[in-house]
Amino acid sequence: MREFFSNIYLRSFLSACIAIYVPLFMWGNTIAHLPYFMNKIDMPSSTLGFFFMILSGIQIIFSQFAGRLIIPKIGSKNTLSIGILIFSLFPVIVIYSQNSFHFLLASVPCGFGVGLFYTTCTAITGIAEKKTNKILQPLWGGFLSFGFLCGAIFSFMWQFMNFSTFNLFILLSFFGFVGFLLIRQYGFSRDKDSIDKSEKFKLPELKILIFGMYLFIFYASVGIVGDWSAVWFEKELKTTLLLASLAVVAWGSGESIGRFLGSYFIRLINEKFVGAYLGMIGCFLFFVSILTMNPYIILIGIFLIGICSSNFYPVVIRFALRQSTQNINTTAANLSTLAMGGFLIGPALVGFSADYFGLTFNVQVLCFIWFLNTSLFLYSVRKQ
């Protein structure tokens, strides 16, 4: 651990981990409280779909600005800092929401913030891997999942103790400021920042576009479990709000365990098995659990799909960055844009289709989509 504080690239990687852990902690609390907000303002599922759509649309635009213009101009540390500060406005807007329109407004700072720090974190991690010869993408993804998990657990405990939801979301905004201070401490100084210079806009290379499409489908399918599980449990499986929040905990637990062990398993076995074959196994097990319609068995299924699918994103990123001829922040911006495009389409479509077909149907369909997407990825890297 001492190496992470002494090596300049690992220190910067640590700032990227902080920059993803803090907002995902805030996001985990929010997802676990979605049934509360939907009941409070009588919000339909379609409004939540619009929320995800606006968030992703803004994120897509600003991920491109971040990768091509903002990071090269002001440096990665400043970009991360600004992103966290903007994102920290979002819990305050959410808790003061009195209707669906106010709730939708919260998606604006959320999208701005994610667009700035997500691309920057991906670029920093890629540079740290290149400079240190360490496998860091799964570890960074572990902090992403662990932040989401800790947020879900914190939310569960907060609800269990029957504390004020208003106070929780004010506290979350303050927590974002703590993240800002930590990033100022550990991020690259401007004279040491090795982020490449900006590039003019051009379409991604074909191979990067293909890898980006795998991420697009990934976020459009598996991400539905993390974002909609609490609502699914409360609305269709007829569980309590407390048990519904455990669905988010199960997802976050599986992803965190899978990603923190990802580097070890990649060295022990290989990237294809850890990133793809495990995901196919997890999809099958999750689908079987859904057929039971037993919320406790489904909790186990969510935990397993979380573990098994957790390293698809970091493995695809590693394959893509190794093959790209463009600079690393531009490639990271392109991959983030395509990935979040899936988040724009998938969860948003669920918001509309849930009112007609139900969330259970949507979750079953995503298993087949995920299985097909993973098969296509394996085919494209069969000779690598």
**In 3-state terms, what secondary structure has residue 238?**
coil
pLDDT for res 344: 67
Tokens matching residue 158: 């907060």
Per-residue model confidence as pLDDT tens digits over 130-156:
888 888 878 888 888 888 889 888 988
CA distance 197 to 297: 50
CA distance 11 to 32: 32
pLDDT for res 198: 46
Per-residue model confidence as pLDDT tens digits over 355-364:
778 788 888 8
CA distance 98 to 118: 30
CA distance 267 to 125: 18
Q: What is the mean pLDDT of residues 341-354?
A: 72
Instruction: Identify the DSSP state of 198.
Output: P
**In 3-state terms, what secondary structure has residue 130?**
helix
CA distance 243 to 235: 12
CA distance 345 to 74: 31
Q: What percent of the chain has pLDDT over 70?
A: 91
**Cα of 145 vs its chain's centroid, Å:** 7
Tokens matching residue 155: 């939310």
Per-residue model confidence as pLDDT tens digits over 83-116:
999 999 999 999 999 998 989 999 999 989 988 8
With bands split at pLDDT 50, 70 and 90, how would you rate the model's confidence at 199?
low
Tokens matching residue 202: 């051009």
Per-residue model confidence as pLDDT tens digits over 228-284:
788 888 888 888 877 888 888 888 888 889 988 888 888 888 888 988 999 999 999
Q: What is the pTM of this model?
A: 0.76
Q: What share of the chain is helix, strand, coil (3-state, %, to 5)?
A: 85, 0, 15
With bands split at pLDDT 50, 70 and 90, how would you rate the model's confidence at 203?
low
pLDDT for res 296: 93
Side-chain half-sphere exposure of 198, counting CA atoms within 13 A? 15
